Amino acid sequence: MFKFFKNVSREMQKVSWPKGKELSKYTVTVISTVAFVAVFFAVVDLGISWILELITE
């Protein structure tokens, strides 16, 4: 188990972490993408619900 954590620590030192500006840019990209996808699926859901109501009347 200690060997595992030692290897994890060694690998984490090799990771290149994003700088502050990069991190902000990535965060804005992720949040805007999630918001777009949420709005898209909400509109699709409303559209399908509206069509089903028209059909079932």
42 neighbors 35 (Cβ within 8 angstroms):
no
Q: Please determine, for residue 56, whether its predicted confidence score (pLDDT) is greater than 90.
A: no
The contacts of residue 26 (CB under 8 Å, 6+ apart) are 18
Q: So what's the pLDDT on residue 12?
A: 94
Q: Is 57 helix (H, G, I), strand (E, B) or coil?
A: coil
Model pLDDT for residues 14-45, shown as the tens digit of each residue: 999 899 999 999 999 999 999 999 999 999 99
* Per-residue confidence band for 5, with pLDDT thresholds at 50, 70 and 90: very high
Q: Please determine, for residue 57, whether its predicted confidence score (pLDDT) is greater than 90.
A: no
Question: Structural domain boundaries of the chain?
Answer: 18-57
pTM of the full structure: 0.66
